Structure 1
Amino acid sequence: MVVVEPVTSSPKALAVRAATGAGPAVAGFVVARMAGLVVLTMWAHRTHRHPRDLLGLSWDGIWYHRIAEWGYGTFIPAWEAPGLRYDDLAFFPLYPMTVRAADAVLPVGSVACALLVAWAGAVAAAWGIYAVTEHCYGRRTATALVLVWGLLPHSVVLSMAYTESLMTAFAAWALYAAVTRRWPAAGLLAVLAGLTRPNAVAVAAAVSIAALAHCREDPRDWRAWAAAVAAPLGWCGYLGWVGWRTGAVRGYFDVQTRWGSRFDFGHYALHYVKHMVLEPETLSAYMATAVCAAAAVLLVLALLDRMPLPLLVYAAVLVVIALGGAGFFSCKPRFLLPAFPLLVPCAAALAKARPRTAAVTVAALAGISLGYGTYLLTVVPVPL
């Protein structure tokens, strides 16, 4: 059980402490991701493909590229399913708009800008993950968690022109602000997260519930009330804009339905697992199943360990959305990538392990992560 005590240190003192302690953890994360880039680059050249295109224009990356270049308005009929239509309104605006702003300043091209924004977000996320984990569980666990997060099987996504790194950065710092009771910052960061990805509603839920729980103790704290109200505004604002643009109250959800995505309480996932039992599937499908099962088990452990409320709510909402959603089973591990609080038991065990055991474990994780990430981008024909 972890109890988060009220914080009396100044914001400057907290920032200095987080920056000082986070150095080794962030450095380890950067080394892990750079190693992944080296392996991917070597294999890409071997297969006569450019690593920049693999990282910047694969799958969802091309959609974000089009939005950054030309704005919204692209849709493509789904060739594999008559009646479906892929519409770029499914993609939230903050990341492509940030890429457009960077492209207006930096003379490196929009694809390179997209990667730079994503990489900066990944570093900020690693720092934020360290900060909130160190506050709740201590320095060793925080350092181990950042390293494990950077070496997950699907962590190659953190090097791609995708939104998971940026969302996780906003989420980690929003959770840090919530556990240290910096409510204006928590509310603002939740708004920004809500403009980044659809499952960032988990950040809004975590901040709002944590703020309301605090208000039960101190009903006169207007900052907490304001954070609880403001946290969902980014997410709700984009859904409202899509509804206005499409002329339908369910506009965004209709867009997602045309992509084949909807929330069916896990019926699709169970049906897909049954299909894998009866018929052979790709390695990525079995890995996705293993990741989903691990997430469910780790969420139960978080409940039993009485994880701090903001972290628990955030992780739980992400798991429910990922496991309960229909469509794109191969993408579920990516949807779970921002759920870093689930890794606390793994990080705590690694932090307590003997140096030789820890080194072997990290080396094994690195081998799996680097090899599997390259496999996902260069071999697997299903969406990532």
Structure 2
Amino acid sequence: MAERRLRTAASVAGTVAAVYFSARLVTTVFFWIAAELSGTHSRFGPDATISSLAMGWDAQWYWVIADQGYPSQLPVDDTGRVTQNAWAFLPLFPWTARALGTVLGGYPTGAIVLAAVAGYAASVVFFLLLRDRLGDTAALWAVVFFANGPLAAMFQMGYAESLGLLWLFLALWALLRRRFVWMYPLVVLLGFTRPGVLAFALLLGLYGIHRWIRRRDDPLPGSHIAHIIALGALATIVGFAWQVIAGLATGDPSAYLETELAWRRDWVGSEEQFVPFAGFVTAARVWFGIWGLPPIWGPIALVILVVGAAAVLIRSSQVRRLGPEIRLWGASYLVYLLAVFFPQSSTFRLLLPLSPVAAAVAVPRSRWWRIGVLVICLAGQWVWIHEMLALGDTFYRIP
């Protein structure tokens, strides 16, 4: 039995590796073309290389954290407003990449290798997460779409996304298997890698309600109740911990919030304050104005989008195949984004944690459907790399 499990694990690891690293070769080609196309107006200039593209944009902030740490005094502009600084980024990725870089010859190499390896590990867990619900073939196709998707460049850039996805997929897998003890360290790791652990706290609350409603068909022992409550409390504490740490380190209790608002104020002005759920409404007006459309249409379009997403989560037979845990995660994360996020050009990147829900496109259909989805994924990946890296010359081309 143990030998058969070992062979099965090796087979899964090998098959996913073939898919994942083939995808990385495609992305590398896209990076090379983007570097060749980079010109004088690009952020990366005419001498761009694959390495410079991989360490662009927010990867620079992580490098600053690894090299200099976090500021003890918040930087401010002439009006006294807090400006963009490292407190907006969580520490686990840059610290791990720095440690890895001491062995591999420098931080950039450590960051890129960490992102790539974490992306592979996340792909393996992604397959395991989906296999029991979708079957081996559909789960493998979901990995194909995930590894080649429009945001696949993240697996080769000095960003924390792939490491955050690894912790998230492991936590969801543990939730599906009801391995609650395993989730305690995963919640902490997730909370100090990428923002979003508060969405996981909401998931646990909704999951607890779901289990309670179905307790006659699916018994809910006291130990499960205790774990769900404890994990929800832990995720909530971890979700606010970085704000407390930033406040203690800088002497300003609002350090983290003001830092996050520094990015938002570049769009809407220096007087912007944080109000839950207001960011998306404001941004909808801003974007429709940028597109030359009546700003009042923005909130209307937002309502239609939210209703459409809710309908997909509730009624789509393909999404229902994923099971209640993944559907509840999708709902929780969307509510979290609506509550705290101001949609900018990085919106697509912040949708990556919805990958388990997006796996519904791999639910058994025709071979041509899957080939078509793969073509769309690759086309989207090239468009993203071209816009954000080859060009990267204006406010809506910031990943």
Which bin holds the TM-score, normalised by the shorter protein? 0.7 to 0.9
Q: Secondary structure at the match of 1:313?
A: helix
Which position in structure 1 is the counterpart of 2:282?
Answer: 268
Structure 2 CA distance, aligned partners of 1:32 and 1:67?
30
Shift of 1:364: 4.2
Q: Which has more radius of gyration?
A: 2
Range 131-140 or range 175-184, more displaced = 131-140
Query: Is 1:137–2:149 an aligned residue pair?
Result: no
Aligned-CA RMSD value: 3.4
Which position in structure 2 is the counterpart of 1:375?
Answer: 387
CA change 1:326–1:231 in 2 (3 A) is closer
Kept in 2: contact 1:32–1:366 (CA 8 A): no
Kept in 2: contact 1:151–1:369 (CA 8 A): yes
Residue 233 of structure 2, aligned match among 229, 254, 264: 229
Which position in structure 1 is the counterpart of 2:53?
Answer: 54
Point out where structure 2 has 5 or more consecutive residues left out of the alignment. Answer: 39-46, 266-273, 294-300
CA change 1:310–1:274 in 2 (3 A) is same
CA change 1:302–1:97 in 2 (3 A) is same
Query: Is 1:318–2:353 an aligned residue pair?
Result: no
Which position in structure 1 is the counterpart of 2:65?
Answer: 67
One-letter identity of the residue aligned with 1:72: Y
Structure 1 CA distance, aligned partners of 2:63 and 2:161?
15
Shift of 1:313: 3.0
CA change 1:294–1:171 in 2 (3 A) is farther
CA change 1:374–1:34 in 2 (3 A) is farther
CA change 1:107–1:357 in 2 (3 A) is closer
Equivalent residues in 2 for 1:205-216, closer than 5 Å? 205-207=202-204, 209-210=206-207
One-letter identity of the residue aligned with 2:240: C
Which position in structure 1 is the counterpart of 2:44?
Answer: none
Shift of 1:181: 0.5
One-letter identity of the residue aligned with 1:302: L
Which position in structure 1 is the counterpart of 2:88?
Answer: 90
Residue 331 of structure 1, aligned match among 346, 349, 352: 346
Kept in 2: contact 1:177–1:183 (CA 8 A): yes
Q: What whole-Å deviation, never above 9, does each CA across 1:279-336 have from its counterpart, x for those lacking one? A: 6xxxxxxxxxx9x998974553122244533322322233234345554510111111
Kept in 1: contact 2:63–2:107 (CA 8 A): yes
Shift of 1:142: 1.3
Shift of 1:177: 0.3
Query: Is 1:171–2:168 an aligned residue pair?
Result: yes
Which position in structure 2 is the counterpart of 1:254?
Answer: 258
Which position in structure 1 is the counterpart of 2:365?
Answer: 352
Shift of 1:129: 1.3
Shift of 1:26: 4.3
Which position in structure 2 is the counterpart of 1:284?
Answer: none
One-letter identity of the residue aligned with 1:300: A
CA change 1:107–1:153 in 2 (3 A) is closer
Query: Is 1:242–2:246 an aligned residue pair?
Result: yes
Range 195-204 or range 92-101, more displaced = 195-204
One-letter identity of the residue aligned with 1:253: L
Q: TM-score, normalised by structure 2?
A: 0.78
Identity of aligned residues (%): 22
Structure 2 CA distance, aligned partners of 1:294 and 1:44?
35
Kept in 1: contact 2:197–2:236 (CA 8 A): no
Q: TM-score, normalised by structure 1?
A: 0.81
Equivalent residues in 2 for 1:82-121, closer than 5 Å? 83-104=81-102, 106-121=103-118
One-letter identity of the residue aligned with 1:318: Y
Structure 1 CA distance, aligned partners of 2:237 and 2:327?
21
Point out where structure 1 has 5 or more consecutive residues left out of the alignment. Answer: 1-8, 280-289
Q: Secondary structure at the match of 1:29?
A: helix
Range 328-337 or range 221-230, more displaced = 221-230
Kept in 2: contact 1:178–1:210 (CA 8 A): no
Shift of 1:268: 2.3
Query: Is 1:37–2:28 an aligned residue pair?
Result: yes
The alignment of Structure 1 onto Structure 2 pairs a total of residues equal to 360
